Amino acid sequence: MIAGTQRRTAPRVFWVVAAVVAALGLAVGLWRLVQGLGATTNLSDAYPWGLWIVFDIFLIPFSAGAFTMAAIANIMNKEEYHAVARPVVLAGFLGYAGVVAILLLDLARWPQFYKILWPGFWNLHSFMLEVTLCITLYTIVLLLELSPLLWERLRMERAQRGFRFAGALIAGVGIVLSCLHQSSLGSLFLLMRESLHGLWWSPMLPLFFLLSAVFSGLAMITFVTVITARAYHHPEHVDLLPGLAQATGVLLALYTVLRLADLIVRGQAGLMFGPGAMSALFWVEIIVGAVVPMVLFALPTVRKTVAGLLWGAVCVILGLALNRASVGLFALERPAGAQYFPSPIEFVAAIGVLAIAAIVYAVAAQYLPVFSETAVGESR
Amino acid sequence: MGQHSILIDVGRCIGCHACTTACKVKNDTPEGVFWTRVSTYEQGTFPDARPYSAPLSRCMHCEYPACASACPVGALSKSEEGAITYDPNRCVGCRYCMVACPFHTPKLDWDSVISSIQKCQLCADRLAADLEPACTSVCPTAALSFGERASLLSEARARIQESGGQYVNHVYGENEVGGTSLLYISPVAFENLGFSTLGDEPVTELSEKVAVIGTPAIAGVAAVVLAGLYWVTKRRERGKAASRSVEESE
């Protein structure tokens, strides 16, 4: 019935654990909407942004695998990547859907969320506006990129043919939107010149955020491909990854050089060797997130092994998480004595969103041609 | 009338909390939330210690407000006379204004189910009715005075002169982040009262420049690069296909 796909269901323990976590997440999410932010989170005037915002500004560049994959498969038309494109784009879409869900939970006046979509209210100087509009549109673009899954499943030939022509255009729109919001996430923090620590604040923030989204996207492709190749028995998909790993290494090197050069040009290089937690945080981020994976990916013997690829990708993703947590939380100046540790509800809601995403992924993999040979946004 | 402004003279404040109370009564702020509140700091060491008080951590009503620049829906806006006011009907509650403000002044009433941003509105409704703000109208020692920014600025400089070196020779708010409508003068170092040392350039300048120039530039460059890549790829593929068909026909 389903062309080119095997029906493969995830183990029962996955369904049970994911369902319990997802149900808990949904419950505490609803509780937060009904009870308000103060009653359910540990946020305060000193810490207006917490775990949820860090979760969002991390998950957006993590999900960038979808747009880098679209660039490789649809624009540069590298056919060998078409087979791994769908699992990655599906993961990317679920990442963005999770971001939107958490963003909604985080809005103190959530019943009015739709007002941000009303052009009469738009403040075009606000990067919060640009980010919100771009991720809303991009989530729709990802849905379109995934729609051939449905046309194929339902054998709707005409829709399939239509998408063959629209594929590259949709991918192109998605890539432009991604470049915009990935850089705008960095631009959000341009206003914080006086409060964001000098090791992270820079007029180059938009460029740094865009560049790190691209290499994190490549790392996410590696990560998702290794995991799904194992879970769904497509070992041949891993063969493409050493090439991606090499490209990731080059981008990491460029990023590291730019970060250091920027500190020197701004005369802030001394902060790298300053006392206190900030310089330590900076070095852990650079070493774990850039230097270690750069070395791993530079060694042909390492990048040709599945373990080497996986560990390299995990390091890049950890480095990304540290960077976004520093910019969004740790490295912002606070009133003396202020403290923040996320509440259990903040943790459970964030993990619950990930569990829901995992369930949707497993269901889609079971019933839709996710692992068929055709590319996203394109049908045979 | 030019820019509405408030001059706060820390040396004259006796810590009576009349302004705190008047503000709370006028604006009916939620429990535990203050748009202005007198804080007391002890200066020096015993037996020469002396308390200083002043209404601190209140909205400075910036000339170049980061909060208004940050707000995606224009819920915060600056009036011609300089007051930054808040419209809860537009606000979605993203709290970007709270993070962006270099003075950390916007607060949230966290205990409400649907919270709203809490900050001084410079009594915009009273000003419209030709009244001065509630806080300045009740101050018994004229530690708070309301007026036009230029004249309050010269008043501030005159008081610093007259103090004969007692006052710090700095009007806080004259140039900080591009200048603010609130001006402070003090006999105690500003850092000791919890004021941050801030640069003179507005924090909004770079961000707004990037928004106006950077955004279309990134979109344009990305679109052109993609179109180019796509064209090159297609050409190469067509070339390959053509050479293949030539080989086949030979």
Q: Which residues of A touch B198 (CB under 8 A)?
A: 194
Q: Does B73 touch chain A (CB under 8 A)?
A: yes
Same domain? For A215 and A279 the reply is yes
Same domain? For A204 and A179 the reply is no
Local structure of A8: helix, strand or coil: coil
| H helix intervals, chain A | 12-35, 37-40, 51-62, 65-70, 82-106, 127-146, 148-153, 157-187, 205-231, 241-265, 277-286, 292-298, 300-303, 306-325, 344-367
| Interfacial A residues in 175-204 facing B (CB < 8 Å) | 175-176, 179-180, 183-184, 187-188, 190-195, 203
**With an 8 Å Cβ cutoff, are A188 and B96 in contact?**
yes
Calculate ∠ Cα B57-B58-B62, nearest 5°.
115
| Interfacial B residues in 105-164 facing A (CB < 8 Å) | 107-116
Q: Does B214 touch chain A (CB under 8 A)?
A: yes
Q: How many other CB atoms sit within 10 Å of the CB of residue B2?
A: 12
**With an 8 Å Cβ cutoff, are A183 and B208 in contact?**
no
**With an 8 Å Cβ cutoff, are B72 and A168 in contact?**
no
Residue B99 is nearest to which of A38, A48, A107, comparing CB atoms? Answer: A48
Question: Residue with structure tokens 């078409």?
Answer: A82
Residue positions counted in chain A:
380
Phi-psi region at B157: left, alpha or beta (left = phi > 0; alpha = psi -120 to 50): alpha
**With an 8 Å Cβ cutoff, are B218 and A179 in contact?**
yes
pLDDT at A380 (0 to 100): 37
Local structure of B47: helix, strand or coil: coil
Same domain? For A14 and A146 the reply is yes
pLDDT digits (tens, 9 = 90+) for B45-89: 888 888 889 988 899 999 999 999 999 999 999 998 899 999 999
Question: Can you say how many angstroms the Cα of residue A357 is from the centroid of all Cα atoms in its chain?
Answer: 13
Q: Which residues of A touch B98 (CB under 8 A)?
A: 45, 48
Nearest-neighbour CA in chain A from B140: distance (Å): 30
**With an 8 Å Cβ cutoff, are B116 and A108 in contact?**
yes
**With an 8 Å Cβ cutoff, are A37 and B211 in contact?**
no
**Structural domain includes residue A288:** yes
Same domain? For A105 and A217 the reply is no
**With an 8 Å Cβ cutoff, are B210 and A206 in contact?**
yes
Mean pLDDT by 10 residues, chain A (380 residues): 54 93 97 96 96 96 92 84 88 96 96 95 96 95 90 81 80 94 96 96 96 96 91 84 94 97 95 92 97 95 92 97 97 91 97 96 91 51
- Predicted model pTM: 0.93
Residue B211 is nearest to which of A44, A124, A192, comparing CB atoms? Answer: A124
Q: Which residues of A touch B113 (CB under 8 A)?
A: 34-36, 39
Same domain? For A10 and A128 the reply is yes
Work out how many CB contacts closer than 8 A connect A with B: 179
Same domain? For A207 and A257 the reply is yes
Does the domain spanning B4-202 belong to CATH 2.40.10.10?
A: no
Domain extent for A255: 196-332
Instruction: Give the number of C-alpha atoms closer than 13 A to the C-alpha of residue A338, restricted to the C-beta side.
Output: 16
Nearest-neighbour CA in chain B from A256: distance (Å): 22
Q: Which residue of A has its CA nearest to B176?
A: A194
**With an 8 Å Cβ cutoff, are B110 and A49 in contact?**
no
Nearest-neighbour CA in chain A from B204: distance (Å): 6
Q: Which residue of B has its CA nearest to A194?
A: B102
Mean pLDDT by 10 residues, chain B (250 residues): 89 94 95 92 84 90 97 95 94 97 95 96 92 96 95 97 94 96 95 91 95 92 92 86 72
Q: Which tokens in the block code for residue A53?
A: 């915002």
**Structural domain includes residue A339:** no
**With an 8 Å Cβ cutoff, are B69 and A125 in contact?**
yes
* DSSP 8-class letter at A119: G
Same domain? For A267 and A173 the reply is no
Residue A191 is nearest to which of B91, B203, B214, comparing CB atoms? Answer: B203
Which residue, A340, A356, A346, is CA-closest to A32? Answer: A346
Q: Which residues of A touch B177 (CB under 8 A)?
A: 194
Q: Does B217 touch chain A (CB under 8 A)?
A: no
* Element (DSSP H or E) covering residue B147: strand B144-148
CA dihedral A356, A359, A364, A370 (to 10 degrees): 100
Domain boundaries, chain B: 4-202, 203-250
Same domain? For A187 and A213 the reply is no
Nearest-neighbour CA in chain B from A17: distance (Å): 31
pLDDT at A73 (0 to 100): 86
Q: Does A6 touch chain B (CB under 8 A)?
A: no
Q: Which residues of A touch B215 (CB under 8 A)?
A: 130, 180, 184
Q: Which residues of B touch A113 (CB under 8 A)?
A: 92
Calculate ∠ Cα A251-A255-A258, nearest 5°.
140
Query: What end-to-end distance do the CA atoms of chain B give, in Å?
Result: 89
**Structural domain includes residue A337:** no
Q: Which residue of B has its CA nearest to A182?
A: B218
Same domain? For A112 and A183 the reply is yes
**With an 8 Å Cβ cutoff, are A34 and B91 in contact?**
no
Same domain? For A351 and A278 the reply is no
* Count of domains for chain A: 2
pLDDT at A373 (0 to 100): 54
Residue positions counted in chain B:
250
**With an 8 Å Cβ cutoff, are B108 and A108 in contact?**
yes
Same domain? For A312 and A366 the reply is no
Q: How many other CB atoms sit within 10 Å of the CB of residue A121?
A: 18
| Interfacial A residues in 351-370 facing B (CB < 8 Å) | none
Same domain? For A25 and A136 the reply is yes
* DSSP 8-class letter at B6: E
**With an 8 Å Cβ cutoff, are A109 and B91 in contact?**
yes
pLDDT at A348 (0 to 100): 98
